[in-house]
Structure 1
């Protein structure tokens, strides 16, 4: 714990009743193991402490925990209807041409067939072309290598979502 005064959003998060805190954490990441670890480490004095706890929890997730976390993410280019978070994160695909969308769908399906889960990338700030190029590059990975890349991408997504959470709680 590094800060002398807890930022307001973090103080509100720390003060949430356990069930409410768990619910907001599961909106950040669908892994119950990840959310449970962050919940158990409350209260946090600084956002950096929360991010460090997130990184540590992410590093400890089992293959099943990662599967659970990935299940909370829609395919690139097809955000869940009514989900502003995935739509915002995948904004780079919003203006994509029909050709790029079709190519991304084909690549998504090939990736899912090979790895058994959606292609996951921290899409914030990336263009549709950058996401397409990433899936083309990563589809050649070995499953173990790809799982660790997914772990890293999830960690980046969680950091962005936690920062946004602290601005809205």
Structure 2
């Protein structure tokens, strides 16, 4: 979507457009209410500024739309299409795939949520290393890491969806 179209869209349409980036209503509302943006960079900067204080409940809501790392999202939703694109570089060996599956299960058992990492620009071995490292976190230490990863994903998605 062009920035000018985003700026002039009805609030409900603009909010729906942002939903696949991160399903955090407070973040979406903050971005929509600050329109119009003079430049794409202004939009991205405001989106970044609006993201740091996400609550655990907001993170859990947003994570409902994220598949396990290494799994291909199914369905035709915008979130699933973005996820497939982001994970397209996560080709891995059978051994790495098995370790990701096992690590995902262990992570979910420990933290009660899907393991989230910005997959864009990372290979499977790098993701596995992060997963194994993060399994050593306490829930209190892990929560800000999850929030940061979701912010990175949201901003990458927004950047890819809005043109000048």
What's the TM-score once normalised by structure 2's chain length? 0.90
Q: 1:5-154 residue pairs with structure 2 within 5 A?
A: 9-82=2-75, 83-93=80-90, 95-154=91-150
Deviation beyond 6 Å, 4+ runs, structure 1: none
* 2:159 corresponds to 1:166: no
Structure 1: distance between partners of 2:122 and 2:138: 24
Contact 1:54 1:155 in 2 (8 A): no
**Pairwise CA distance, 1:48:** 2.3
Structure 1: distance between partners of 2:113 and 2:66: 10
Unaligned runs of 5+ in 2: none
- Is the partner of 2:92 in helix, strand or coil? coil
Q: Deviations over 1:130-163 (max 9, x none)?
A: 1111100111012122111111111111111111
Unaligned runs of 5+ in 1: 1-7
- Which structure exhibits the higher relative contact order, with contacts defined as CA atoms closer than 8 Å and separated by 6 or more residues? 2
**Paired residue total:** 160
What's the TM-score once normalised by structure 1's chain length? 0.88
